[in-house]
Structure 1
Amino acid sequence: MRAIIPKIQLMARSLPLDKHTLVSNLRKIGEVVVVTGDGIKDAPALHEADIGLAMGIAGIEVAKENADVIIMDR
């Protein structure tokens, strides 16, 4: 995992636990990490990331509370 994680640039359609694992490991090696999420299970990864982006209209309140930026739509 230590050899593969630094090579990952984008991870899509992943499980919340996978997001959190990736964020934690990238932060341990000094990388800057941005995470998007909108569900309650995304909250740990949003909180752990350097920048957490939550979806404002469709997002769950817990995700928005753990994010740094909330993307709103008109």
Structure 2
Amino acid sequence: MAAHVQVMGRSSPNDKLLLVLALRRRGHVVAVTGDGNNDAPALHEADIGLAIGIQDSEVAKESSDIIILDDNFALVVKED
């Protein structure tokens, strides 16, 4: 089941973590966005953790690889 999920939204922090772990066990590269203390485990376990927003918790920021300060996902889009 996890191999068929590409995007998951409005999920519990535990569901995020379980999906990250399942996908990584199968060799997938996983990116996770989060903004709260509860998201820290999934952010930490993901290949790429993105903390979103100026008001993110410090725990989420510390567990992330990338911090987007203005909620603008356009900043992470690669343009050719």
TM-score (ref. length: structure 1): 0.92
Which residue type is aligned with residue 48 of structure 2?
Answer: I
1:7 to 4, 9, 12: 4
Q: Is there any run of 5+ residues in structure 1 with no aligned partner, and where?
A: none
Amino acid across the alignment from 2:7: L
Alpha-carbon displacement from aligned partner over 1:46-72 (angstroms, at most 9, x marks no partner): 000000000240200000000000001
1:35 paired to 2:42: no
Partner in structure 1 of residue 41 of structure 2: 44
Runs of 4+ in 1 over 6 A off after TM superposition: none
User: Sequence identity of aligned pairs in percent?
Assistant: 61
Count of equivalent residues: 71
Q: CA deviation at 1:28?
A: 0.3
Q: 1:23 is paired with a residue of what secondary structure?
A: helix
RMSD of aligned residue pairs (Cα, Å): 1.2
Aligned to 2:61: 64
For structure 2, list consecutive stretches of 5 or more residues without a partner in the other structure.
71-80
Partner residue in 1 for 2:17: 20
